[in-house]
Chain A
């Protein structure tokens, strides 16, 4: 981000201020925000407090109290400069989507307190730009006018001096303006799109939407349109933007799953229209995690079941697996991945290329639609993402001359090979390595229920090693009990405790064995929530932490926290205790606006707490994960 940012220098001396500055200049920071990559979490950075849809008191940031929207774009007095910034925004399409939905307010001048006569322009969408210009009188005066986004009403109203009535009036006005300006806007949009397509070249056909069904594209393109309307300088900006856009596109291609930001209203709406699974979104979501999907539990299943016979495009095998994900019947990285691959195998078996279509393209599209269905049922794990990537690249590499039946056979064999080599054999190798680290008299601690760790423990027991196991578990899933049952059934000596007691039990432990959902390029272990806590405790007690993870779960992404990518579980699961009605203190208040329940599924363990990663390529330090990813991606050995 940094070099890219500096290359597009903003010449406004006010913005470029360095060193000590007064509080008003806090605003300057805001205009950087839209450039943030979409995967960046909305950090609770003191300067950025008002950036997310958070209800953080805006007054902290702005003494004037009329910062109206989470994201501020602060143009200077000069149009060209303004344009510059807007074009910054446009260079990062995803970012602009997501930030747009949070209502982008373009204000002239930095602080209306300093220059009360200046106009503030509030932009919600291009239509409101038009609105703003159609009703200049509305904007006159010291306070800039806010356009409330159609954010969920429960996000606390921003504390500003414009009264509710005033806002309502503005909204009304804008609604009227929207209708009036619609024709004008469509024209404008078309212009903008044309200009864009000029710059974009090849992508034109895809990029030009019909004015009628442009409801979605409208919002998508919108960040640009004001800039293009501004004046002729925009051509240069557009060119620049095109270059950047290209770059952005390329970069986007590298990123395997540009996950949707679920706090982005427009995109969520769009996605919902396409969705097969009808999910009701949970209402009270914790602020930091609003970009993640969270649904009312149990709302989807009946709906899906009723659709079973109508779902034409969905293959029954995929459908079944999707339902199993949804209901939680299949969980665990490997199990989910194998189930998915087998479902795909099934679909390939019964697949026949439609006339006038090529197998390579049509099948890829089919697979993509299945994947998005599965993703709706439960967000894909990284291992599944890698497996999908493998499958797609195998399909893409099929020679065109190959006959359909041959291609199908090859694909099925490839999937079988993947399951065997990357999952089953890999686990055997891991077990073989890990067992060498278990000595007689050891006390091994494990957390949750990792299939790899279970195999290691059982194998070590079969080898006759004398050791004891401490199974640490946590609410609400209590997966450890399953593991415990299997271990005890095989005659291992076990201790069972909950994570609350981990620091108590840790001093007698000699090794900690953990599983992982994924290991990322910086060595961060992405695993069941609570793993980081266990690893940290082990580190504090000087106990080595061994992470068992198949190499197909490695990912080249880097993650520093567990906020930007995660999965939200059912919030009810933590507010209720089954079978103990007398302690369900939260019964009445789960729908309270003031109560936000957070049931995270994963967390990120920093590599500092990991002593060793045991993988199918041997025992390596966590710093070597990127080496394996790099070395084996070339030869397509890694996935």
Chain B
């Protein structure tokens, strides 16, 4: 009964019908359309979206110490990784019979808690270029397209994965460098661009944190919903800048992401108060601004984020409080949901603590769509944007 809204899913399904790059991908990416949702996820637990599994895994390991280390390593880590990756890719390419798999590559990158899924995808696609044995630009482009398609079909519920792949393809292939007469130099150029793009995406969080500092003033109260690495970065930078503010964290049922965030903030000596998810309206009059992250930013300028964001934004809007969204630009997706049900649902187990009778249905969707009219500003690595600019940027990127 669920329908995917984005227009390009149709295209993709058509393209997926043609042969895919690797056998694994073909096996999963041509399911009967009626059961597309469950079958396209090659996960052991078909009821849980892969994206949220990854997130849960990340949250398991994620500590502020770990983040600090990761932060310190930002400068050198990528190079190391890329070098090692290079060697692996080379061996994979050299090894007779064994073919390079973009999914494996992606999974290895995905394991790192600090690395957003989209960045992992971007890294994996860069590796595809490197490992490619194509001899013409066209071939390489097709190969890249197939790799990104198989990545996207690996987890259709992840918006940032899809968006990251699409953006990467646009960014890499839309270049005048393609007019190089020599294929190898063109390929080098592509790899260069790919790495640069990986870098940009990686640093996006920093840029956003810097941009948002002007909006956090002394004595303000910030309401945060869910656990977002970007929002954490923003708050951390504010704390480091000696800003005096306090944070209200929603509990973030069912995975208690709010608890985790409050934990992190307490370590930074930021005054935190935990709220039940249902206490948002109750405490809204004390709040000066709402900060949320985003799983994806859609064409309308609205966001798709953890369940409850819409509710928080509605309450904030009705009380005239600004709602700020912190999101990297690789989360900009060419989707246009018209309403809540107009998206591929990302399912999520909900634990009510007590056994639920079999007759009772449980809403398991993990995220909702917040329309742009309830958002004030978006902090992105492209700058501080109003919601309507998102579409502007997307049009410039994709058309």
Contacts and interface: CB of A to CB of B under 8 A. Distances in A.
B187 interface: no
Nearest to B342: A437
A546 B336 CA distance: 11
B395 A628 contact: yes
Interface in A260-283: none
Contact of B338 (A435, A511, A617, A623): A511
A618 B7 contact: yes
A440 interface: yes
Nearest to A619: B336
A524 to B, nearest CB: 15
B396 A631 contact: yes
A612 interface: yes
A619 B395 contact: no
A279 to B, nearest CB: 43
B104 interface: no
B249 to A, nearest CB: 31
Q: What does DSSP make chain B's interface, helix, strand, loop or mixed?
A: loop
B1 interface: yes
Given A436-B4, A440-B1, A618 B338 contact: no
Interface in A583-633: 611-612, 617-621, 623-624, 627-628, 631
A621 B338 contact: no
B34 to A, nearest CB: 11
Given A437-B5, A612-B300, A627 B338 contact: no
Contact of B395 (A435, A511, A624): A624
A621 B10 contact: no
Contacts of B339: 544
A437 B338 contact: yes
B334 interface: yes
Looking at chain A, what size class is its interface with the partner chain?
Answer: 20 to 34
Interface in B67-124: none
A36 interface: no
A183 to B, nearest CB: 62
A612 B336 contact: yes
Given A436-B7, A511-B338, A623-B388, A631 B299 contact: no
B392 interface: yes
B3 interface: yes
Contacts of A620: 299, 336, 391, 395
A618 B9 contact: no
A285 B4 CA distance: 51
Given A436-B10, A437-B342, A631-B399, A618 B334 contact: yes
B3 A618 contact: no
Contacts of B10: 432, 435-436
Contacts of B391: 620-621, 623-624, 627
A182 B6 CA distance: 72
A623 B6 CA distance: 19
A617 B395 CA distance: 8
A28 interface: no
Nearest to A637: B399
B372 interface: yes
Interface string B361-399: 000000000001000000000000000100110011011
Contacts of B336: 612, 619-621
Interface string B331-344: 00010101100100
Contacts of A631: 395-396, 399
A485 interface: no
Contacts of A139: none
Contacts of A441: 1
Interface in A433-451: 433, 435-437, 439-441
A432 B342 CA distance: 17
A432 B7 contact: yes
Contacts of A433: 7
Contact of B7 (A544, A619, A621): A619
Contact of A621 (B3, B299, B334): B299
B301 interface: yes
Contacts of B399: 617-618, 631
A441 B339 CA distance: 15
A623 B399 CA distance: 17
Interface in B328-356: 334, 336, 338-339, 342
Contacts of B301: 621, 623
Contacts of B396: 627, 631
Contacts of A511: 338
Nearest to B5: A436
Interface in A410-439: 432-433, 435-437, 439
Contact of A624 (B7, B338, B392): B392
Nearest to B395: A627
Interface in B20-62: none
Contacts of A436: 3-7, 9-10
Interface string A483-527: 000000000000000000000000000010000000000000000
A453 to B, nearest CB: 16
A437, A440, A546, A631, most chain B CB atoms within 10 A: A437
A270 B136 CA distance: 66
B85 to A, nearest CB: 35
Contacts of A546: 338
A618 B299 CA distance: 10
A433 B6 CA distance: 8
A627 B392 contact: yes
Interface in A95-136: none
A498 B52 CA distance: 48
Nearest to B372: A621
A624 B398 CA distance: 14
A611 B338 contact: yes
A624 B300 CA distance: 9
B342 A621 contact: no
A624 B299 CA distance: 10
Nearest to A627: B392
A55 B9 CA distance: 59
B395 A612 contact: no
B212 to A, nearest CB: 23
Contacts of B3: 436, 439-440
A566 B1 CA distance: 44
Contact of B398 (A432, A440, A611, A618): A618
A39 B1 CA distance: 50
Contacts of A440: 1, 3
Contacts of A437: 5, 338, 342
Interface string A193-209: 00000000000000000
B372 to A, nearest CB: 7
A628 B392 CA distance: 8
Nearest to B10: A436
B9 A621 contact: no
Given A432-B10, A433-B7, A619 B392 contact: no
A544 B371 CA distance: 12
Contacts of A627: 391-392, 395-396
Nearest to B339: A544
Contacts of A628: 395
Nearest to A463: B10
Instruction: Pick the most buried of B1, B9, B399: most chain A CB atoms within 10 A of its CB.
Output: B399
Interface string B273-306: 0000000000000000000000000011100000
Nearest to B371: A611
B399 to A, nearest CB: 5
* Most central of A432, A612, A620, A631 by chain B CB within 10 Å: A620
A76 B133 CA distance: 85
Nearest to B341: A439
A542 to B, nearest CB: 8
B385 to A, nearest CB: 12
5 contacts: A437-B342, A612-B300, A621-B372, A627-B392, A631-B399
Top 6 nearest A-B pairs (CB, nearest first) are A623-B388, A544-B338, A624-B391, A619-B336, A439-B3, A433-B7
Given A612-B338, A620-B391, A628-B395, 8 more contacts: A437-B338, A439-B3, A544-B339, A546-B338, A621-B299, A621-B300, A624-B392, A631-B396
